[in-house]
Every structure is written in structure tokens, then in C-alpha cells.
Structure 1
Amino acid sequence: MKTLYISLILALTTLLSSPVKAQDNTVHNYVVLTKKIPQLKPILLTAQALREEEGTRFGDFQVIVCGQHIGDLTDKEQMTPFLQEAEAQGVTIVACGFSLKKFKVDAGSLPREVKVVDNGILHNFQLQNKGYKSLSL
């Protein structure tokens, strides 16, 4: 009888003390800083893969465009497929206002889907401070 009680206590202790795996509900946010518009294709494919892999844990995904090729954002023919895919994947394309000014690109000539921030590099750091995973290409 004593053995039965000890066995029962051990069994209950084992059951009650076994670690329960907590469900990871952490939302993952991403920011990519790029200087070249053609890099949008692999960036958007990455966003799509992460969205499929993470499901509800996939959060915000922003692509910041800075540098001398910022004017390429105004090329409607080149940008249309990227903008359509970005919308489908929930990706925000952001233009660096500093680069727009430096390379004399009128922000009014950008597609309406492109968000403009004053300083793309600063915006990237601010997002990193909020916990975004960051990559610069």
C-alpha cells in the first residue's frame, strides 16, 4: 500500500511538474534598407515567405529606399509590379526624404503608395529601437 501511494505521488508530481510549452505569440516586425529598386523583388519574396511561415506572428514589414537611385521610384512601369506585390504582402515602401532632396526628386512624383519619411536612416534606427529586425542591402 505504501508503495502504491509513493508511486501515485511520483506520477502526479511528474505530470504536474512537466514543462508546458508556452505558445509563442510574439509578433515579428521587419525593416529593410535598400539603395536599388531591383532589390525589391527578392525583398518582397522574402516578405511573402515570412508571412506564410509565421502566420499571425507576421507583423509590419517596411522597405526604406535611400540613395542615388531614389528617382527610380518615380518610374511607373518599373514600380507597378513591385507596388502590387507589396500591397499583396502588406509591405510598406518608404522613400527617404533626405535622398529625395539631395537628388532633386519631387516627392509629388512618387506613387501614392510610397510613404515618405524625413530621414530614412533615422527611420530605420527608430524602428530597430522598437524591436524591428533590420537588414541593410
Structure 2
Amino acid sequence: MKTLFSTFMLSLFMLLGNIQNTIAQETEKQNYVVLTKKVQQLKPILLAAKELSKEDGKNFGNFEIIVCGKEIGNLTDLETMKPHLKEAKKVGANIVACGFSLKKFNVDPKKLPKKVEIIDNGILHNLKLQQKGYLSLGL
């Protein structure tokens, strides 16, 4: 009788553990980060974000686009950035500028659109997001 009871309890705990894992997987958000050196890549990146948002549904989490490198000054072109910022807002993506690149290539952070966040080091930020489980792509 003890063996039967022990087997029943063990089976019950295993079943509850599987149910708990399934629920956790269903409610876990999928986060993404893309590191790019070219502002002209924002359009295809945002198209990808839009598609992933549709596919992931309610499990779509954060989507960060980090811009680094010598072309970072292109972020200050407000006419070019306007449609990208609009699409980013619609999709729920964040466009982030690498502060290290801004300094290195003498770009005035005050000339960036207000919606563009500045972080100290884009590569480090990318690596830290990967540590948190973000899926990452470097272009």
C-alpha cells in the first residue's frame, strides 16, 4: 500500500511539474536585440520586428535596436529617422544609440531625436541583454 501511495504521489508531483513548466513557457516573453552599424538597416530590422510581433503574439517582449559605429551620425537626420521612429513605436521597438560611438565620431547627442535612448557602450549593452536571454543578431 505504501508503494502504491508513493507511486501515486510521485506521479502527481511530476504531472504538476510538467503543467507548471508548460504554463511558464507559454507566459514567458521573447525578447530580441539587434546590433547594427547602418541606419539604412532600420527599415528591414523593423519589418522583422513587426513579423516577430505577429508570430509571437502576446509572448512578444522587448525589441531593442542598438546603433553603433562610424555612421551613427545618420541618426541626427530627422527626416530619415521620422518614419523609423514611427514604425518603432507602432511595433514596440526601441532604437538605442551607443554613447561610445557618439563620442568617438563627434556626434552631438542633443541632435538625436528625443525618442532615441543613449547607452554608454552598445556592445556591452548587447552582451548584457544576451545574458538576460535576449535573442541577438549583429549586422
Q: Which amino acid aligns with 2:89?
A: E
Structure 2 length-normalised TM: 0.82
Could you tell me which of 64, 68, 76 is aligned with 2:78? 76
SS of 2:133's equivalent in the other structure is: coil
Q: How does 1:1-137 map to 2 (within 5 A)?
A: 22-23=22-23, 24-137=26-139
RMSD: 1.6
Structure ranking higher in helix proportion = 2
Could you report, residue by residue, the CA deviation over 1:100-131 in whole angstroms, capped at 9, with x for unpaired residues? 00000010110000000000000000100111
Deviation at 1:22, TM superposition (A): 3.1
Gaps of 5+ in 2: 1-14
Take 2:42 and 2:82, find their aligned partners in 1: how far apart are those partners?
12
- The total of aligned residue pairs comes to 120
Deviation at 1:54, TM superposition (A): 0.8
Take 1:54 and 1:119, find their aligned partners in 2: how far apart are those partners?
29
Deviates more, 1:55-64 or 1:19-28: 19-28
Q: Could you list the runs of 4 or more consecutive aligned residues of structure 1 that deviate by over 6 angstroms after TM superposition?
A: none
Percent sequence identity over matched residues? 57
